[in-house]
Chain A
């Protein structure tokens, strides 16, 4: 596949996603997630979670949605911006 074609596909996908963002789809029912490739396993998030909702599994943080109340403390503190 040509280089230009691949680049074009990536940009189109990004553009579509940005348009979708502006289409008014509300973030209802979303759960917080950790992006494993960004997480550095420092457990700063676990140290501020007041709901015992974070475990370290295989060196990465995992958020338990059955305990998480989406207060956002972990989002504010994560040094790798890995929680979203």
Chain B
């Protein structure tokens, strides 16, 4: 039984299945939100999770990875993010029902009341501050800072991991060229966050939780934050080992583990696979399929969507804001697309021009 659970956990946490399962779980939570917002459901979930941890604790490999001082915040993150997301979900469900019944939202009701800055706000904040400082002190005494080997120019640690909060980004390096995964995409994230107030002028949901009034915005946020940030942090922390190979939570971190990965560029698929002829020498001609495809993706899809899927949005936002939004959105969507293509057809790059350091 124990081995079966371990094997199942190892099997399920392979990156492909892990990502797909996360998407499915997220969709299920949002679709069946009434069910999931019940208290007993989340209680059961945490009870089962705790039981699983107690069981897994006995395993030396699991134990080793969980108890690393580095990873303690991630455990906390795991519990807190799930709990607070659940809390939000619950309030959404309640608010949506109340709105349907024509009642004010929970927060709306609450906002009629006033409290004092002192002591209700500042004093409580101060107490929290003190408690938190004390907690940090105790933590730092009991779990000393993890120190790794002295840095050396010629040798990087293996696995070489970013700080925990960047592990989600580091996961993208598996699928994208460093300048996209490490420069462009983080840049878009910052730009996108800055642009939110200008793109999203919808006043609904201000100050209260709701799903039904803003299904797209909430889903988009949950996918972006919980799936692509938090769950990838968890993946990068616990499931990526030496050589950035994947290791199940109960698997030994073997330095020599190999992963069969022969990835091909789109141009090779097109010229060699489809047309059965050598790839042209001229880089631009050679990469033309990828260039056409990406240009199509970024130039054709926005106007197309403006007429079809996002017609409402287009009229609501106007051309400029709509296009900014669409490009940010398309970049975001490119990530799961690329991941899917990597898993299914071993796509390396849409455009692979190493001679110009340009790979997409």
Is B a genuine binding partner of A?
Answer: no
